[in-house]
Amino acid sequence: MDWQANCAAVIPCLNEEPTILDLVQQVRRHLTTVVVVDDGSTDGTAKTAAHAGAVVLRLTSNLGKGAALHEGWQWAQKHGFQWALTLDGDGQHSTDDIPSFFLCAKETSAALVVGNRMGNARGMPWFRRLVNRWMSRRLSRAAGQVLPDSQCGFRLMNLQAWSHIPITTSRFEIESEVLLKFARAGRVIRFVPVRVIYKNEKSKIHPLQDTVRWFRWWKEARREKTDA
């Protein structure tokens, strides 16, 4: 697989000016095409990303991480890419782990390869670790397979597979929805170990609103399984 020709990196961003320059430059060591989707930033994220060599897509307002990812995936597929590598814009994902995703996809024919931080999660804030494990257990039961890190945004996804699976969420619950729907569609999902990098970044997750959205999505997802 010629990953340079067939894969684009997609990075959703909201006010990530301090980290986006280095991140884009580091990703471009592995992939030529990096798409930064600016989700209504009020700082210089878009300008800085463009300066680093990224293709910049700008949403007119803050529509959510899921909406930003949809925009990037659609752009990548429209421009002939077969795969999309997604990373968060705050620098918590190490670009040194990128080759592991490519190798896993090649060796396992997985349609979705997800980073797994939970093998060595000591660097993850304890509350995030607790919530991630709680969500991952429930999603694993619903999917019928072990999903050790359901909330990691560091992923490699086959765009043809994605295009046949209806993904409807527009905010942080998208990570859960993609995993569950790929599993229910019988697509091969694999996980690769990735390192945990947490500095002083502030989470973009709104504890109340995003928790309510997740549970609303979860209730609907369970109903869909029951109806099927």
Write out 180-212 in H/E/C secondary structure.
Answer: HHHHHCCCCEEEEECCCCCCCCCCCCCHHHHHH
Query: 133: which 2 tokens?
Result: 């494990």
Condensed to tens digits (0 to 9), the pLDDT of residues 64-116 reads: 999 999 999 999 999 999 999 999 999 989 999 999 999 999 999 999 999 99
Position 217 scores a pLDDT of 64
DSSP string, 94-139: -GGGHHHHHHHHHHH--SEEEEE-GGG-TTS-HHHHHHHHHHHHHH
Position 82 scores a pLDDT of 98
Position 227 scores a pLDDT of 46
> CA 27, CA 107: separation in Å to the nearest integer?
22
Position 221 scores a pLDDT of 76
Residues with pLDDT less than 50, the chain: 226-228
Residue range(s) defining the domain that contains residue 93 = 3-227
Instruction: Tell me the CATH number at 37.
Output: 3.90.550.10
Per the structure, the count of domains in the chain is: 1
> CA 137, CA 153: separation in Å to the nearest integer?
17
Position 206 scores a pLDDT of 55
Question: Measured between alpha carbons, how far apart are the two ends of the chain, in Å?
Answer: 36
- Please state the three-class secondary structure of 69-94 as a single string: HHHHHHHHHHCCCCEEEECCCCCCCC
Q: What is the edge-to-edge ordering of all strands in the sheet holding 155-158?
A: 55-59, 34-39, 7-13, 83-86, 155-158, 112-116, 189-193
Condensed to tens digits (0 to 9), the pLDDT of residues 159-173 reads: 999 999 999 898 888
**Amino acid in position 94:** S
SS3 of residue 10 by DSSP: strand
